[in-house]
Structure 1
Amino acid sequence: MTEFCKEYNIKHILCAIACPRSNGQVERFNDTILNAMSAAVGEDQDAWESKIIEVQSGINGTINATTGTTPSELLYGYRPRLKFDVVLNNNQADRQGKLKCARDQAVANINKSEQRMKQRYDKNRLDAISYNVEDKVLVRRTPLVKGLTSGKLVQKYMGPVVVTHVLGQWRNYRVAGLAKCHGPRPKRPRAQK
């Protein structure tokens, strides 16, 4: 995997599990796809497969607020012809010029949008705390706890546990002592005879 990424100049970034904000761009797009599929399918939940192409062309043909153009236009240099379109300009030289112009404008729009989003995000944020080996910490529980019907009454944190390794620059840690925090597995009540 590392060699493949180096060969194709890909920056591979690992995300923390159960932490949607670490990969917000993908999570936001997944939300867009689910909303579009829900609207396209309506009441017939079993017909979702037949609506994939319709949803895909809708998303690819919708102007993005950040780039100011459609994904298809950035990729191919023209907007795909839809059912109601009649005329399509097939001039290749004109299309290449428009494609370069559209991509340059999209990059400029993305940079502006990134700056606005960063300023809005950083406005009320504090720097994350970094821990060292041997520090005692509490670990946030994931929402799902096996064996329980509801996680609402479960303690929000486990611990304290001890940091044993610092894993890279992304504030991921390996800890010791989680097994004793979980305690015995809850037993299901038996039906009385």
Structure 2
Amino acid sequence: MYKDINNYIKSCILCAQFNPRRQKNPGTLRPIKPPDGVWQLVSMDFHGPITPTTQRGNKYIISLTDVLSKFVVTKAVRDNTAQTAVRFLKEDIISKFGTPRCILTDNGTHFTSTLIDELIKQIGATHLYSTPYHPQTNGQVERYNSTMDAKIAALSNLRKTDWDDQLPFVTFNYNASIHSSTKQVPFEMMYGRSPVLPFDYQDTNVNISYDSEHAKKLSQFLSKLNEQARINIIKNQERYKQRYDMNRSDPTYNIGDLVLVKTINIRYKFDVRYEGPFRIIQTITPKTFIVQHVKKPTLYRQVTTDVLLPIFKRIY
């Protein structure tokens, strides 16, 4: 009788849709393997809207971070449209730093438009997406955003309407500081030299010398920095994964399984916490799936295991 009651409760779809989950979200962490070199993989995102709007009308920040070096490029912009993203890539990234090999973004409409697709095809890069339910995949930019906000707020005027004036200085400070993950300075990994800071040129003596082995030494220096950064990133990922995976279940799903999908934005207390039912129709990775709504066959979603809730089959 106990088993029957337990199965009846577990198989109640309506109950599962509204009940809050008491345990940690399921699914162990799968960190992104750091690339072999700088500009092999970059992540891009919009941050905002930021209030108040600046005197120039800017209310968003678009950021691009190199996954290996952690070097960041930022720009204050008025909107978060695809046109703005394309202009940023052309004018502030490709024309100044060259073409990145892979660009990681979320699934926002500003990054999934035909404008972005056409540009990425033209430059020969690869476009990778993080799922809307799993922002940790694109966590590079998000971690910078949280660091940046506090510093910009501290430097801005009382009305906070000049934060776009402070953005370049905060970004340079970030790039010129030792990163906690790589234990390296992003600027050095990007340019192969130390950043020149204000007042560094107080010594008026200028020494101009020629080194015929400069290119070879620079290549060796950058290779050493890149390798050490990769080692430090992997060590940091292992420590974080150990903490993240602690007391966390690691369920497996198969094609055909029925599941509920966690609602992204719950506005009211009585809103449905899990939508569905959905059926798993494709496996992208062991942790990422394409699901199809059972009652709305035209509705598809790309999801990860941490937002899925299995539907138990009722025995009778």
Name the TM-score, length of structure 1 as normaliser: 0.69
Contact 2:192 2:221 in 1 (8 A): yes
Could you list the structure 1 runs, at least 4 aligned residues long, displaced by more than 4 angstroms after superposition: 1-5, 87-92
SS of residue paired to 2:261: strand
**Higher RCO (CA < 8 A, seq sep 6+):** 2
**Which residue of structure 2 aligns with residue 36 of structure 1?**
151
- Which is higher, the Rg of structure 1 or of structure 2? 1
**One-letter amino acid of the counterpart of residue 264, structure 2:** T
After superposition, the C-alpha distances for 1:76-105 in whole angstroms (9 at most, x for unaligned) are 122211113236987763972544433332
State the number of aligned residues. Answer: 170
**Which residue of structure 2 aligns with residue 183 of structure 1?**
none
Distance, in Å, in 1 between the alignment partners of 2:177 and 2:163 is 20
**Which residue of structure 2 aligns with residue 59 of structure 1?**
174
**Which residue of structure 2 aligns with residue 141 of structure 1?**
263
Residues 178, 151 of structure 1: CA spacing in aligned structure 2 closer, same or farther, 3 A cutoff? Answer: farther
Residues 100, 140 of structure 1: CA spacing in aligned structure 2 closer, same or farther, 3 A cutoff? Answer: closer
**One-letter amino acid of the counterpart of residue 123, structure 1:** M
Is 1:15 equivalent to 2:130 in the alignment? yes
1 or 2, which has the higher strand percentage?
A: 2
Contact 2:280 2:289 in 1 (8 A): no
**Structure 1: runs of 5 or more not aligned:** 145-149, 180-193
**One-letter amino acid of the counterpart of residue 224, structure 2:** C
**Which residue of structure 1 aligns with residue 293 of structure 2?**
175
1 or 2, which has the higher helix percentage?
A: 1
Q: After superposition, where does 1:1-193 map in structure 2 within 5 Å? A: 4=121, 8=125, 10=126, 12-41=127-156, 43-86=158-201, 93=214, 96=218, 97-133=220-256, 135-144=257-266, 150-159=267-276, 161-163=277-279, 165-166=281-282, 168-169=284-285, 170-177=288-295
After superposition, the C-alpha distances for 1:16-40 in whole angstroms (9 at most, x for unaligned) are 2143234333322222233332233
Q: CA RMSD in A?
A: 3.4
Distance, in Å, in 2 between the alignment partners of 1:130 and 1:98 is 46
